[in-house]
Structure 1
C-alpha cells in the first residue's frame, strides 16, 4: 500500500510579474494534486500584478495575496540582499496552517499538471529528503533544454522544503547565497537534498537574463565568498562552467572583489566547514557531477 502524499503549499515572491503570474496560475490551478494554499507575495509591483493576484484570490479559495510592508518587510534592496528570501519567509509565515512541505516557486515558471503530485511522491517515498525539486528546463533556440547542475542541488525557481526545516529557513540570513546555505543546514540536520531528473519544470526567464550574464556570474562569485568556498574550487567551478558560458569567468571577479572588500561571510562555522570539506579535490573527483 503506497504512502499518502504529503500536503503542500506554494509561496511565490513576485514583483512586476503580471504576465508571468497569469501563466503560473494556469499551471497551479491545473495541478492533479492541488496545494493546500498558494501565497503570492507582491513586493510593490507597479505593472498591475497586484490586481491580477487579487482577481485570482477571488476566483480560488486556496490562493491568497500578501503584500510587503514598510520597515523590515519592505523588500526593495534586490536579490543581493536576499529580497526573495524575505518575501518567501513572509509568505510561509502567512500560511493558513502548517503543511508537510512548503515550496518556493518563482513567478516565471510553469509546470505540467502532474508536477507537484510527482514531487510530493518523492517526499512520501523518502523521509530523509529535506529539500527537493524537479529539473529546470530553459528555452534554447526554440527547444526546451535541461539545465545541468549538481544532482544534489534543487533549483531555486522551484524548491520544496520539508516542514521540519521551517525554523532553519526562517533563521537564514537574507543575503545572496542563502539558497546554498539552506542545503548545508539540511544536511547537518540529517536530511539530504535532491534535484530529480524524471520530473521537470519550465523556466521562462533564463538565469541572469534580468541583470545580465556578467553581473549574474559576479553575483555567484560573491555568493561563493559568503559561503566560504575554497579559492581552488571556485576556480575549478568557473572554468567548468565557462565551457558553455564564458561569462562564468566573472565568478572569479566577484569572489575576488568580495574578498578585497572584506564582505561578510556566513556566520555559522559548521556550515562553512561542511562546504569546504565537500570541496576537497578528492571529494570533487569522487562525485563526478557538474560544479
Structure 2
C-alpha cells in the first residue's frame, strides 16, 4: 500500500544535529509527504541554520515554524508535548488525514537508518490492528540497545496509523508519548516495536535527568514495584547515578503527594502494568 507519511519534529538548540537529521531523512527510500519542524526559541543558531535549509529530495514539502511562546530550559513534559502537537496541528490544517496514512514524531536527536519508514509501513500493511509503531532504538555513543524494554514503542521516532490518531489522539501533558500509547491500547489498538527498523538516538535522560522520568511514572499511576524494578535495571547496567535519580523522582513525588493522573481508565492501565508484563512473560492471557 502506498501510504502518505507526515512528520512533526520539535527542535530547540540542536545546531550540532541538524546536518545528521536532514541526512537521515534524505536517506529514506519512502517519500515523506509533509515534514513540519517546530523550532522553539533556539539560541545556538539552529533557527538561522534551518532558514537556509531546503527540503530533501524525498520530502514533498518542508515547513519550518519558528515558535517562542514559552521560556525556560529544555523540558520533556507538557511543554514538549505542546511543541509536538503544534506540528501535528500544522499538518492537519494542510491535509485531510486518511485512515491509512501514517503520522508521527521525529525528534531532532533521533536518526532513522535507511529503510526505516519503509519497514514500518510494511508492518502496518501486515497488521490491521497495529495503531502505533517504532523501530528499535540504539543509544548514540556506545551503540548499545536502549535500556527501555525491548517491546517499548519509543516516542521519539514513532508513527501512528491515521485511524488510530483520529480515534485516540495525542495527549498533551507529562509523559505524553506514554499516555497516548496507553489510550490507543485501551481503544483496542496494538503497539509494537518493529525490530528490523533501527534508529539511533541520545540515551534517554541525557538532556533531562532521570528524576523527571521517576516523577512522571508516579504521575501516571505506576506502582512503587514498577519504580523499584526500573531502578534495579539501571543499577544492573552499572548506572547507579541514574537509578538514584529515578528513584528520587518517584519516591519524592510520592512523599510530597504530587498530583496524579486524573483519568481513571489510564490510571488503572498504569497501575496494572507490572502484572500485565508478568502475564505476557508467562504466556498467560
* TM bucket, shorter chain: 0.7 to 0.9
Taking the aligned partners of 1:152 and 1:28, their CA distance within structure 2 comes to 24
Please tell me whether the aligned partners of residues 55 and 61 of structure 2 are also in contact (alpha carbons under 8 angstroms): no
Residue 48 of structure 1 pairs with residue 45 of structure 2: yes
Two-structure CA RMSD over aligned residues (Å): 2.2
TM-score (norm 1): 0.85
Deviations 1:172-199 (A, max 9, x none): 2322x22211111011111011112221
Taking the aligned partners of 2:119 and 2:181, their CA distance within structure 1 comes to 21
Residue 271 of structure 1 pairs with residue 270 of structure 2: no
Structure 1 residues without counterparts, runs of 5 or longer: none
Corresponding residue pairs, total: 272
Residue 231 of structure 1 pairs with residue 189 of structure 2: no
Taking the aligned partners of 1:135 and 1:59, their CA distance within structure 2 comes to 24
* Aligned twin of 2:117: 116
* Aligned twin of 1:257: 252
Please tell me whether the aligned partners of residues 164 and 189 of structure 2 are also in contact (alpha carbons under 8 angstroms): no
4+ aligned runs moved over 6 Å, structure 1:
none
Q: Secondary structure at the match of 1:36?
A: strand
Taking the aligned partners of 1:59 and 1:275, their CA distance within structure 2 comes to 40
Q: Secondary structure at the match of 1:147?
A: coil
Instruction: For 1:163-178, list aligned pairs within 5 A.
Output: 163-166=162-165, 168-170=168-170, 172-175=171-174, 177-178=175-176
Taking the aligned partners of 1:69 and 1:149, their CA distance within structure 2 comes to 32
Residue 6 of structure 1 pairs with residue 16 of structure 2: no
Please tell me whether the aligned partners of residues 101 and 160 of structure 1 are also in contact (alpha carbons under 8 angstroms): yes
Deviations 1:134-176 (A, max 9, x none): 01112454xx222243243211221211223435434x2322x
TM-score (norm 2): 0.87
Instruction: For 1:149-168, list aligned pairs within 5 A.
Output: 149-166=148-165, 168=168
Q: 1:196 aligns with which of 194, 206, 210?
A: 194
* Aligned twin of 1:92: 88
Deviations 1:100-123 (A, max 9, x none): 111111111222321111111111
Per the TM alignment, residue 59 of structure 1 is displaced from its structure 2 partner at its CA by 6.9
Structure 2 residues without counterparts, runs of 5 or longer: none
Is the alpha carbon distance of 1:127 and 1:59 closer, same or farther for their aligned partners in structure 2, counting shifts above 3 Å?
A: closer
Please tell me whether the aligned partners of residues 20 and 109 of structure 1 are also in contact (alpha carbons under 8 angstroms): no
* Aligned twin of 1:221: 214
Q: 1:240 aligns with which of 213, 233, 239?
A: 233
